[in-house]
Amino acid sequence: MTAMPIAPFERSHATASTDGLLPIYRRAPMELVRGSGCELFDRDGTSYLDFASGIAVNALGYNDPGIRAAMLAAMDTGLIHVSNLYHTAPGAELATALVARSFASAVFFCNSGAEANEGAFKFARRWARATGGPAKHEIIALRGGFHGRLFASLAATDRPAYRAPFRPLAGGIGIAERSLEDLDALLDAETVAAVIVEPVQGESGVRVLEPEFLRGLRTLTRQRGIALIFDEVQCGLGRTGYLFAHERYGIEPDLLTLAKPLAGGLPMGAVLLGADIAASIQPGDHATTFGGGPFVSSVALHVLERISDPELLARVREDGAWLGAQLGRMVRPGSRVRAVRGIGFMWGIDVVEPAAEVVKRALAAGLLVCSAGEHTVRLLPPLIADRQDLQRGLSILAAILA
Ligand code: PLP
Query: Tell me, what's the pLDDT at 19?
Result: 83
Give residue 216 CA to ligand 1 midpoint distance, Å.
25
Question: Residue 383: how many CA atoms within 13 Å on its side-chain side?
Answer: 35
Query: Tell me, what's the pLDDT at 147?
Result: 98
- Strand 367-368, strand 47-50: pairing: parallel
Output the ligand 1 site: residues, CB below 6 A: 55, 112-114, 117, 146-148, 198, 202-203, 231, 233-234, 259
Give residue 380 CA to ligand 1 midpoint distance, Å.
14
Please report the domains of the chain, with CATH numbers, ordered by start residue: 11-63+310-400 (3.90.1150.10), 66-307 (3.40.640.10)
Give residue 105 CA to ligand 1 midpoint distance, Å.
23
Query: Tell me, what's the pLDDT at 257?
Result: 99
- Strand 173-176, strand 138-142: pairing: parallel
Choose one of 115, 147, 198 to mutate for the ligand 1 pocket test, by most ligand atoms within 8 angstroms of C-beta: 147
3-state secondary structure 263-286: EECECCEEEEECHHHHHHCCCCCC
Q: Following CA atoms 256, 262, 265, 269 in sequence, which dihedral angle do they give, to the nearest 10 degrees?
A: -40
Cβ pair 305, 298 in contact under 8 A: no
Element (H, E) at 194: strand 192-197
Give buried/exposed letters for 281-292 (b at 16+ CB in 10 A, else e).
beeeebebebbb
Q: Which residues of the chain have pLDDT under 70?
A: 1-18
Cβ pair 380, 51 in contact under 8 A: yes
pTM > 0.85: yes
